[in-house]
Amino acid sequence: MSWLPGLLLLTLLLTGCGETVLTQWPRQDIFRDYFRLQDIKLGMTRAEVDAIMGPPKTREEGDYRQGHFVFYFYRTHNMDYEGSETVRGGYTPLIFHQDVLVGQGRRDYFRAVDRPWGEKLTEPSWQRSW
């Protein structure tokens, strides 16, 4: 009778094999957006970015001291971590001013929305003033 618990455990393990494991985040979309982001360059128009990246998951716009900005957010990581350029749980922001890409990432986003406390660097990553 001592083999019965082993047989029961083996049966439970074998019935779980071959099933699809579901994840909580869409890895294919994240990897696709991450690799497409490498083709994005400052100075591109919104239409050029749309052609490469496709429509953003989230789009926002607002008026700040430095002008009117449009923000595109693409999911490129499954979470934010120290040293990443993501905000809001793994989204990389693209910052447009007058339909031209002027910034990308956490530091540029916080600078555009007038939140210098959100960035640790004093110098922006783009050299253009609005």
What residue spans define the domains of the chain?
Answer: 25-118
Give pTM, 2 decimals: 0.67
Q: What per-residue confidence (pLDDT) applies to 13?
A: 64
DSSP 8-state class, residue 71: E
Asked whether the beta carbons of 101 and 94 are under 8 A apart, the reply is yes
Over residues 52-78, the pLDDT tens digits come to: 999 998 999 999 888 899 999 988 876
Looking at per-residue pLDDT, the higher value among 24 and 29 belongs to 29
Q: Is it the case that residue 126 has pLDDT exceeding 60?
A: no
Q: What per-residue confidence (pLDDT) applies to 116?
A: 62
Q: Rounded to 5 degrees, what are φ and ψ at 101?
A: -70, 115
Instruction: Round to whole Å and give the CA distance between 107 and 121.
Output: 7
Q: Is it the case that residue 128 has pLDDT exceeding 60?
A: no
Sequence letter at residue 56: P
DSSP 8-state class, residue 77: S
Q: What per-residue confidence (pLDDT) applies to 21?
A: 53
Query: For residue 104, which of 50, 37, 57 has the smallest C-alpha distance?
Result: 37
CATH class of the domain at 25-118 = alpha beta
